[in-house]
């Protein structure tokens, strides 16, 4: 079919022209067929007679288009709808897609008229068919008629079959098939050529065989979620080491972790009994004990297994080298000594294993006494939290409670608000869960409780800076905070090894996603008014924190765009605030934004102005749309130059072209105000704390900013 169509040279119409919706029109509908083209200079393919007409007489050709535009547009709309309706027909149980009808247009501008269809400027750019009870298989062949699709998400359905042949849709940037029943081996070259793919989530399916090596070569891949499948074999050699999110936990992988992944959090690899190397324990050890330990308790066994096996390795190595270096006459003595040493080490190792098994049995016993095991819940499966070995044991005092009260005690969450319906840990464990991401501290999960509310549970492991009483007191202090720009802490759970902080789920996503992921996710970009509202909200939330928590030096401490959520009215909500006092100090520098500040890096201290520095970085991120390299975790920082120095180096007459995010629309009457904000941002990022703005002044200046320029701007 393509050979029947020809390019019409030099015909450039605006992509939004009613004459010229450039994408996705199929031949059998219309007698001529514009197809995929870039936004800047779309091209038309047309049958020979139209091509000739256009070549000989462009005005005549345009007149022809105008006269036939009604038919033309109708055909364009029908084409998209036809493809989608055909696609719907290939799915079973698709009642959620009842409003997909060939008689209507899927998109009006950025507004979608059909459930789950993502529209950008009148074109279908994605399908987000999540949690719709869909069954059947994905018919990629039909979707190839829409070669400009960027997003495909079928998360949380009951789809099955082998891995769909997604490489036929080369424009895809975001793909999620998580929580379905896809199965079988994925061909090695399944992702070959998908050079635009940024996010791939295949978690919680039944895939088997090796992780396809074509994944390892994708140049733009930022998020890869493969957890909860049955992948076997070695991890491929990923060329990228800067994943924003990476998880292969709970598979059957083995062998060494490639060096490029050694900076990832160890939780990304848990539950694979034979994976080894950084960030897990060393590879050249006795894997048998590691395997036993891993099965025993993933969170606590790591240290046991690594200590046991490392000491075995060290001792064995020492004895071997000794024997090699000894003379002939003493070799017998040395080898006898070696045997004794090895024997002792093995005895110690065995004792450790028995001790571990004993502890496990004891814990199981306590668990069965203290809690009725809830049914295998998805949160258990997905998060690994609350496994038999992990059901919280409660404190000594809780455990010594009368038998009847034990269940209530050990699964009780400490609520910080009276305006919420109560639930407990076992309710959370029973809830259907979705992993939202693995941040610096650990993972966050979205848990939909059976009685309605949707909560976010964040696990913190390095949170033992203070004892239990002090921790409770600090949480109560946070629970009393009330401000329209703070996400309230609803409840928490305390046990020594880890803490859970529970908040409401905010379904409009984070500022980070809005700034950096909106295109891929098919969301509209943020205009100046929204960015200004965001920065004002953040500044006011910060100011409130400093007023209410005067005893904390850096009252937020972890201010960054993924810790700012946007509610339905685009009001920013700060989260993960005021944790500096409770986070282990030895881990804080790896984890928290405050510890990436110039004063910490140079002088080893954080100050009352450290959050101002984070605010400055955030302002630059908001204005430039660039992800700040300063706050990436070590090893993830890109070559990109430091955002602050870069913004500073740009002269004011260049600022609008070079600094301001191209995505800020309607900038015409606001350049002066944006420039003011840029100057505030740069003053907040001042490396010298003395010269840096203080919070009060920064907040005042931010609050004076207007949506439109005033005369005094220039």
Ligand X SMILES: Nc1ncnc2c1ncn2[C@@H]1O[C@H](COP(=O)(O)OP(=O)(O)OP(=O)(O)O)[C@@H](O)[C@H]1O
Task: Give the footprint of ligand X on this chain (CB under 6 A).
Answer: 436-437, 439-441, 444, 456, 458, 487, 503, 505-506, 510, 558, 562-563, 565, 575-576
Cβ(553)–Cβ(607) below 8 Å? yes
Number of H helices, E strands in the chain: 21, 27
SS3 string of 583-600?
CCHHHHHHHCHHHHCHHH
Closer of 88 and 382 to ligand X (Cβ): 382
Give me the least distance between CB of 462 and ligand X, in Å please.
11
100 touches 122 (CB < 8 A)? no
To ligand X, the closest distance from the beta carbon of 572 in angstroms equals 12
Decide whether 446 or 692 has the Cβ nearer to ligand X.
446
State the minimum distance, in angstroms, from the CB of residue 215 to ligand X.
22
The nearer residue to ligand X, 436 or 466, going by C-beta atoms, is 436
CB 503, min distance to ligand X, A: 4
Which phi and psi (to 5°) does residue 483 adopt? -155, 140
Burial class (CB in 10 A: 0-12, 13-18, 19+), 574: buried
Task: Choose between 457 and 680: whose C-beta lies nearer to ligand X.
Answer: 457
Tell me which DSSP letter residue 110 carries: T
Name which of 125 and 556 has its Cβ closer to ligand X: 556
Q: Rounded to 5 degrees, what angle do the CA atoms 326, 328, 329 make?
A: 100
Identify which of residues 96 and 447 has a Cβ nearer to ligand X in the complex.
Answer: 447
Cβ proximity to ligand X: between 228 and 488 the closer is 488
Is residue 208 classed as helix, strand or coil in its secondary structure? strand
User: E-strand spans in 531-672?
Assistant: 564-566, 572-574
Closest to 270 (Cα-Cα) out of 258, 257, 284: 257
Residue 506 or 553 having the CB closest to ligand X:
506
Task: State which residue, 73 or 440, has the beta carbon closest to ligand X.
Answer: 440
Strand 432-438 with 443-448, pairing: antiparallel
Q: How far is the CB of 303 from ligand X (least distance, A)?
A: 22
| Distance in angstroms (rounded) separating the CA atoms of residues 466 and 494 | 12
Q: Which is nearer to ligand X, 413 or 456 (CB)?
A: 456
CB of 247 to ligand X, least distance (A): 12
Interatomic CA distance for residues 183 and 203, integer angstroms: 11
Torsion over CA: 245, 249, 254, 255 (sign): positive
Shortest approach of ligand X to residue 70 CB, angstroms? 45
* Between 97 and 416, CB nearer to ligand X: 416
Q: What is the C-alpha to C-alpha distance for residues 481 and 477, in angstroms, rounded to an integer?
A: 7
Q: From the CB of 562, what's the least distance to ligand X, in Å?
A: 4
List, in sequence order, the alpha helices (H) in 404-465. Answer: 406-410, 425-430
CB 632 within 8 A of CB 594: no
φ, ψ of residue 443 to 5 degrees: the values are -100, 155
Percent of residues in the chain assigned helix, strand, coil, to nearest 5: 40, 15, 45
The answer to whether the CB of 283 falls within 8 A of the CB of 256 is yes
* Residue with smallest beta-carbon separation from ligand X: 439
Least Å distance, CB 245 to ligand X, is 8
Report the nearest approach of ligand X to the CB of residue 231 (Å). Answer: 23
Q: What 3-state DSSP class applies to 221? A: coil
Nearest distance from residue 306's CB to ligand X, in Å?
A: 24
- CA 669, CA 710: separation in Å to the nearest integer? 9
Other Cβ atoms less than 10 A from the Cβ of 103: the count is: 8
Closer Cβ to ligand X, 150 or 558, answer by number: 558
Q: How far apart are the first and last CA of the chain?
A: 58
Contact status, residue 352 vs residue 217, Cβ threshold 8 Å:
no
| 8 Cβ contact list (under 8 Å, min separation 6) | 43, 44, 45, 46, 50, 51, 54, 55, 61
Write down the residue that tokens 């989608």 correspond to: 84
Q: How far is the CB of 505 from ligand X (least distance, A)?
A: 5
Q: Compute CA distances 329 → 218, 320, 323, 336, 341, whole Å.
A: 60, 16, 11, 13, 20
| Distance in Å, CB of 74 to ligand X, minimum | 41
Nearer to ligand X, 178 or 562 (CB): 562
Report the residue number, 593 or 659, with the smaller CB distance to ligand X: 593
CB of 436 to ligand X, least distance (A): 4
Q: CB 526: neighbour CB atoms within 10 A? A: 23
């Amino acid at each position: 079919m393509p050979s029947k169509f020809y390019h019409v040279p030099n015909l450039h119409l605006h992509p939004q022209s009613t004459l010229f919706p450039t994408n996705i029109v199929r031949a059998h509908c219309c007698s001529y067929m514009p197809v995929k083209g870039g936004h800047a200079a779309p091209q038309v393919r047309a049958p020979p007679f139209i091509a000739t007409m256009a070549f000989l007489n462009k005005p005549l050709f345009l007149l022809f288009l105008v006269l036939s535009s009604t038919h033309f547009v109708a055909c364009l709309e029908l084409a998209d709808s036809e493809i989608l309706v055909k696609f719907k027909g290939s799915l079973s149980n698709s009642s959620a897609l009842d409003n997909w009808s060939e008689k209507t247009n899927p998109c009006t501008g950025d507004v979608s008229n059909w459930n789950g269809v993502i529209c950008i400027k009148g074109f279908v750019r994605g399908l987000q068919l999540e949690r719709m009870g869909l069954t059947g298989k994905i018919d990629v062949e039909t979707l190839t008629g829409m070669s400009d699709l960027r997003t495909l998400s079928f998360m949380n359905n009951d789809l099955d079959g082998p891995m769909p042949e997604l490489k036929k849709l080369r424009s895809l940037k975001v793909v999620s098939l998580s929580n379905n029943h896809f199965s079988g081996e994925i061909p090695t070259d399944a992702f070959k050529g998908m050079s635009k793919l940024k996010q791939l989530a295949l978690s919680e399916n039944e895939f088997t065989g090796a992780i396809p090596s074509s994944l390892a070569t994708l140049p733009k891949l930022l998020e890869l979620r493969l957890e909860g499948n049955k992948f076997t074999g070695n991890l491929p050699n990923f060329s990228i080491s800067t994943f924003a999110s990476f998880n292969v936990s709970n598979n059957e992988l083995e062998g060494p972790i490639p060096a490029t992944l050694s900076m990832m959090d160890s939780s990304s690899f848990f539950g694979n009994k034979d994976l080894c190397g950084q960030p897990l324990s060393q590879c050249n050890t006795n894997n048998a004990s590691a395997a036993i330990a891993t099965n025993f308790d993933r969170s606590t066994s790591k240290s046991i297994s690594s200590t046991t096996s490392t000491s075995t390795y060290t001792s064995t190595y020492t004895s071997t080298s000794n024997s090699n270096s000894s003379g002939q006459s003493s070799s017998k003595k040395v080898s006898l000594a070696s045997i004794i040493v090895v024997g002792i080490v093995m005895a110690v190792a065995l004792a450790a294993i028995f001790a571990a098994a004993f502890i496990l049995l004891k814990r199981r016993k306590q668990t069965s006494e203290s809690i009725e095991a809830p049914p295998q819940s998805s949160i258990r499966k997905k998060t690994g939290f609350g496994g038999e070995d992990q059901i919280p044991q409660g404190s000594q005092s809780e455990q010594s409670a009368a038998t009847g009260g034990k269940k209530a005690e050990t699964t009780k969450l400490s609520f910080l608000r009276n305006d919420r319906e109560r639930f407990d840990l076992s309710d959370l464990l029973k809830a259907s869960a979705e992993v939202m991401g693995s941040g610096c501290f650990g993972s966050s999960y979205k848990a939909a409780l059976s009685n309605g509310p949707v909560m976010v549970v964040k696990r913190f492991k390095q949170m033992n800076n203070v004892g239990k009483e002090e921790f409770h007191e600090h949480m109560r202090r946070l629970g009393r905070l009330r401000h329209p720009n703070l996400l309230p802490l609803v409840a928490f759970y305390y046990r020594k090894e880890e803490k859970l902080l529970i908040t409401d789920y905010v379904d409009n996503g984070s500022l980070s996603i809005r700034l950096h992921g909106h295109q891929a996710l098919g969301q509209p970009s943020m205009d100046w008014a929204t960015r200004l509202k965001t920065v004002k909200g953040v500044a006011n939330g910060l100011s409130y924190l400093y007023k209410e928590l005067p005893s904390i030096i850096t009252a937020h401490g972890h201010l960054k765009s993924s810790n700012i959520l946007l509610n339905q009215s685009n009001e920013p909500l700060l989260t993960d605030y005021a944790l500096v006092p409770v986070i282990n100090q030895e881990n804080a520098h790896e984890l928290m934004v405050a510890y990436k500040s110039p004063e910490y890096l140079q002088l080893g201290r954080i100050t009352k102005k450290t959050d101002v520095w984070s605010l400055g970085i955030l302002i630059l991120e908001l204005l430039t749309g660039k992800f700040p390299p300063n706050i990436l975790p070590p090893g993830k920082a890109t070559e990109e130059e430091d955002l602050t120095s870069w913004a500073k180096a740009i002269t004011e007459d260049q600022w609008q072209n070079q600094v301001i995010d191209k995505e800020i629309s309607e900038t015409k009457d606001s350049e002066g105000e944006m420039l003011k904000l840029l100057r505030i941002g740069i003053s907040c990022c001042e490396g010298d704390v003395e010269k840096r703005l203080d919070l009060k002044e920064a907040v005042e200046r931010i609050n004076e900013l207007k949506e439109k320029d005033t005369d005094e701007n220039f």
